[in-house]
């Protein structure tokens, strides 16, 4: 009887809940899990590594000048490795759960993502035009998630020296473009092979676009850079001037 009731509930749920709503709930659950993981990494392993770094630096200063410098050099190398590890972990935390969009707003959050990329010696430009409508939370999450994934791919895989992010609202359509001058790739080959993490990232972008009924295009060729384009018509709501910072 329990199994039968479970099936009845499941069938009722499938009949009454729209696929888009189910997909939105999945993305919300994933965002919550990312928040939990980022907090655990920050409060756990990052703090332990920072503590170890302080102790190593204290040991370096306590080494007697009369003793061989081998130990000091070794501690210096270990300290450098720990600093690089802490930096990378903090970057992972930012990727897992970015600053809440409801606090920063979409435009400032995108600017911050570009600033992170610029720290990797990539020349970045951010452009926006028009009056951005007040987007639904799922639309903001989708836009930011797709743009962030594109910027992450630039940082990790493209070997680009410049990148551009353009956000505009025109003719009742929100459009986002992320371009880089990197080494490019074959999108069809990547999507066909879904094993590597970078490939999963592209599939995640596709899922987010489908969630809000957006058109997603990835134009790239080996040696010719990459252009990620997103366009959709948002749910009609209040119009917010772009100069307002959202």
**Three-point CA angle 21, 25, 30, nearest 5°:** 150
Residues 6+ apart with CB under 8 A from 151: 113, 114, 116, 117, 163, 165, 178
Among the listed residues 130, 211, 175, the one whose alpha carbon sits nearest the alpha carbon of residue 165: 175
Close Cβ partners of 85 (under 8 Å, ≥ 6 residues apart): 49
Domain boundaries, the chain: 2-96, 104-244
Residue found by looking up tokens 């503590």 in the block: 51
| Assigned token pair, 42 | 């920050």
What per-residue confidence (pLDDT) applies to 81? 80
Instruction: Look at residue 7 in the predicted model and tell me its pLDDT.
Output: 44
**Burial class of residue 51 in the structure, from the number of CB atoms within 10 Å of its CB (0-12 exposed, 13-18 middle, 19+ buried):** exposed
Any alpha helices (H) in the chain, and if so which ranges? Answer: 2-16, 19-41, 47-62, 70-96, 101-104, 106-118, 137-153, 187-192, 197-211
- C-alpha closest to that of 89 among 48, 45, 33: 45
Instruction: Specify the pLDDT at position 10.
Output: 46
DSSP state of 159: -
Per-residue confidence (pLDDT) for residue 199, from 0 to 100: 57
Provide the residue-wise pLDDT of the chain in tens; the chain has 246 residues: 333 344 443 454 445 455 666 666 766 676 766 666 766 677 777 777 887 788 787 777 776 666 657 677 777 888 888 887 777 777 777 666 666 677 788 999 999 889 989 988 999 999 999 888 888 888 998 899 899 989 988 988 899 999 999 999 988 999 999 999 999 988 777 655 554 555 567 888 888 898 899 999 999 989 989 999 999 999 765 445 554 444
Task: Indicate the DSSP class of residue 122.
Answer: -
Nearest to 178 by CA among 131, 221, 222, 125: 125
Contacts 24+ apart (CB under 8 A), 215-222: 216/146, 218/187, 219/187, 220/184, 220/185, 220/186, 220/187, 221/184, 221/186, 222/183, 222/184, 222/185, 222/186
What pLDDT shows up at residue 237? 59
CATH class held by domain 104-244: alpha beta
């Amino acid at each position: 009887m329990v199994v039968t009731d479970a099936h009845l509930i499941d069938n009722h749920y499938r009949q009454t809940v729209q696929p888009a709503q189910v997909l939105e709930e999945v993305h919300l659950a994933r965002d919550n899990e990312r928040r939990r993981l980022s907090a655990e990494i920050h409060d756990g392993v990052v703090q332990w590594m920072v503590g170890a770094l302080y102790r190593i630096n204290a040991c370096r200063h306590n080494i007697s000048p009369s003793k061989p410098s081998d130990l000091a050099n070794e501690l210096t190398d270990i300290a450098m490795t720990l600093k690089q590890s802490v930096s990378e972990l903090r970057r992972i935390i930012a990727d897992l759960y970015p600053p809440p969009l409801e606090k920063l707003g979409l435009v400032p959050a995108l600017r911050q993502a570009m600033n992170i990329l610029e720290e990797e010696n990539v020349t970045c430009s951010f452009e926006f035009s028009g009056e951005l409508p007040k987007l639904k939370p799922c639309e903001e999450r989708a836009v930011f998630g797709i743009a962030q994934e594109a910027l992450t791919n630039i940082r990790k895989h493209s070997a680009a020296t410049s990148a551009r992010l353009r956000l505009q609202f025109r003719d009742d359509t929100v459009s986002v473009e992320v371009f880089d001058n990197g080494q490019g790739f074959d999108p069809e080959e990547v999507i066909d092979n879904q094993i590597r993490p970078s490939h999963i990232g592209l599939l995640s972008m596709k899922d987010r676009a489908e969630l809000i009924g957006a058109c997603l295009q990835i134009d790239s060729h080996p040696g010719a850079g990459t252009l990620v384009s997103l366009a959709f018509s948002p749910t009609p709501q209040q119009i917010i001037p772009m100069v307002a910072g959202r």
